[in-house]
Amino acid sequence: MHLAPSSLSQILPRRSHRMATALLLALAGTSTTSAAALSSSAPSTEQVQKALGGLGVPFEANTGQWDAGVAYLAKTFAGNVVVMRDGRIVYDLPGKVLESAAAKTSDLPKERQQPTERGPGWRLSETLVGALPLSPQGQQQAATQVSRFTPQGSYHSVTYQSIQMGQAWPGIALELAARGNNVEKLFHVAPGADARQIQLQVGGAQALTLGSDGSLIASTGNGDVAYTPPVAWQTIEGQRVPVPVRYALLDKQAGQRGKPAAKAIHANRTSASARYGFTLGAHDPAYPLTIDPLLQSTYLGGGSDDRITALAVAPQSDGSFDVIVAGYTTSSDLPCAAGSTTASSALNPTCRQDGAQKVYKGGLWDGFVARLSGDLRTLRQSTYLGGGGYDLITALAVAPQSDGSFEVIVGGYTYSTNLPCAAGSTIASSAQTPTCPQDGAQRVLKGIADGFVARLSGDLRAVSPQTLTFHAPNPASRPLVPGGSVAFGAATASSGLPVSYSAGPAGVCTLADPAVSTLTMVGVGTCTVVARQAGNAQWQPAEDVSQTLTFTAQTDWTGPVPGMTGSGGVAVTGGSATCTLDTSAATGFVASPGAAAEAELQALHPGATLPYGAFTLRASGCAGDTLTVTITYPEPLPAGLVLLKWGPPAAGAAQAWFAPPGLNLSASRRTVSYLLDDDGAGDSETVAAGVIIDPFAPVLLAAVPVAVPTLGQWALILLGGLIGALGLRRWPVGAALRGGGR
């Protein structure tokens, strides 16, 4: 929405109105022919006014725009209906029409008449007497959206079709619904529950009386307000069966339920309140029952003074059209929390009690723009625009955009010194000297009243649209590193506002800080990152954008091997799609598999060593899997090594060193493969399902010394004799040879 106060100063409202209307007529001339053609079949303002009177009005959730004691508010065309958090229901009725003021411009065309002035307003409240603790909750989110543009900021609230007050009395629940000019209370009475428990205390009423037609009339200083005769029914075997019912006036008796009164009960204006309940005729207590009284929240003999002053049609892409209407409606002070004396919200300058209001209620008007379906059956959006004084919209145009959308431009005149400014502007701290520093031909109110032009998006919800864009696309997939961080490409908003993120599902990825574009990887799968920008007083919420990252199973790893030159490689096969290696410190070649494993190895094979350390493996997401682990060393393993692994040899067995199942050593002596079962042979992790931990090592056993054989004593004597005998036999030959040589 762009507000551009006109450059005219010190002009009368009528002239301001003419200037704004002329400008809007010029803008309307730019509309397409299709819009002009549609206008011939568009409804009249009287038809729209009548339709609005019967349409459901949504309850707005309090998101900070009102006092903390307010839970929900419905702005009907006859005043506010406020549901307080403590369960009170407050009806804020406009002031009484001042006929002399209304007649000032009665001879002018309707769209040029000044709004009717009213005296002080009146407030009624209803308290459920003796009720259980209540917790009002919105029921069924409404299709109608409500926006408010105020000097304090813009508010776009969640809206609901009705309010469930909860179980007010044992077996009796209360539901609220609002219509164009009325408020409906539905008492749902469970089978066997006593409807006589229902008691309502009316605050602000000077008297309660029963009308001749069965209505309940609350007298106020501004006139009488009527509750229509109640209706009641039961649904029995699929048929709606009427039940006789009438109002019952009740005395205010201490400690007991009030007893029926024969005449009107007058309440003290400042402290006491009248009470009423219901008297039922014959009905079947075995079936649920519904009682439906309706508060016709306009003064008897009067009517709503909300006025539609302009109408346009907006063609839709499917060939249909929506109806855009503008005008003005009464503004009302809002109630504060029970017992408070000053409002906590800037929108509530004072806290008003039940009964006569101490401010001139009729002097404040807000402009409104509403968007309805072409058949007038659905109110799509209701938007209020205004400052602290008169703010009247008297002209309207639809401006088609190049992208097929449209904007709504309204004009009128204002007495306010703090009308909301244009997009990007800053509201001045002083209500008497506001400025619109960025946009607008005129930055301050000059004189009694000025014309204004406001430009809104076609949905009437926001000041300016914005878009989100992911500027750095991420790789389509990447290997999973459980617990690892991934920085994804940040998104930016065309408005320049900060972007927040969410990510999921939680089993795949998480996001610790919604303001930081960094994920934590959790498991195999597709992670979706959503970027959001909620908007503010100058920018509408952006449409969410998303991008995905796929984390795949990690099935191989490389790293240095102790005692060898170069790196070894590991591959895991046979696992499910989610089975992945944890490539953090839990997987890799290490010097030792741990003190317990070392001690057991020495007990089994004294002097054994691990010349090439051990390989430890951790895999997750492998529930029920049998894995084949293949290790490739950078050098051949020497002969004489024993290939063992540490772990339970069988499910439930104690840790031990054993030859792994399926063991195979290649002819080159560089590649070893073996099998692992989740929670079975070789898996050292038997608690967490799907997690496999496996230490494996080539073991060099200590060399065993070879003993030299020795002879016993008699063997040595015999051996000596044999040697001596051999010597005697050789002696004669030698002697003869020596003798012959002489």
Give 553-576 pLDDT, tens digit per residue: 778 888 899 999 989 988 888 888
Per-residue model confidence as pLDDT tens digits over 657-688: 999 889 999 999 999 999 888 888 778 787 77
pTM: 0.49
Q: Give, as one character, the DSSP assignment of residue 609.
A: B
Q: Is 227 in contact with 300 (CB distance < 8 Å)?
A: no
Is residue 472 scored above 60 in pLDDT?
yes
Residue 732's pLDDT band (boundaries 50, 70, 90)? low
- The arithmetic mean of pLDDT across residues 85-92, rounded, is 89
Q: Is 637 in contact with 665 (CB distance < 8 Å)?
A: yes
* Burial bucket for residue 102 (CB in 10 Å: 0-12, 13-18, 19+): middle
Long-range contacts of the stretch 509-516 (C-beta < 8 A, 24+): 509/549, 509/551
pLDDT value of position 401: 76
Helices vs strands, H then E, count in the chain: 6, 49
- The arithmetic mean of pLDDT across residues 2-21, rounded, is 34
Q: Find, among 165, 101, 169, the residue nearest to 134 by Cα.
A: 165
Q: Is 101 helix (H, G, I), strand (E, B) or coil?
A: helix
Number of Cβ atoms within 10 Å of the Cβ of 568: 21
Q: Higher confidence at residue 477 or residue 133? A: 133
Q: How far apart, in Å, do the first and last CA atoms of the chain sit?
A: 146
pLDDT value of position 444: 52
Q: Find, among 290, 384, 376, the residue nearest to 80 by Cα.
A: 384
Residue 308's pLDDT band (boundaries 50, 70, 90)? confident
Q: Alpha carbon of 576 to those of 573, 619, 662: distances in Å?
A: 9, 11, 20
Is residue 256 scored above 60 in pLDDT?
no
- The arithmetic mean of pLDDT across residues 107-117, rounded, is 56
Q: Higher confidence at residue 93 or residue 629? A: 629
* Burial bucket for residue 473 (CB in 10 Å: 0-12, 13-18, 19+): exposed
Query: Which residue ranges make up each domain of the chain?
Result: 59-299, 474-535, 556-700
Residue 97's pLDDT band (boundaries 50, 70, 90)? low
Percent of the chain with pLDDT over 70: 64
pLDDT value of position 277: 94
Q: Is 529 in contact with 501 (CB distance < 8 Å)?
A: yes
Query: In the 3-class helix/strand/coil scheme, how is 6-60 assigned residue by residue?
Result: CCCCCECHHHHHHHHHHHHHHHHCCCCHHHHHHHCCCCCHHHHHHHHHHCCECEE
Is residue 698 scored above 80 in pLDDT?
yes
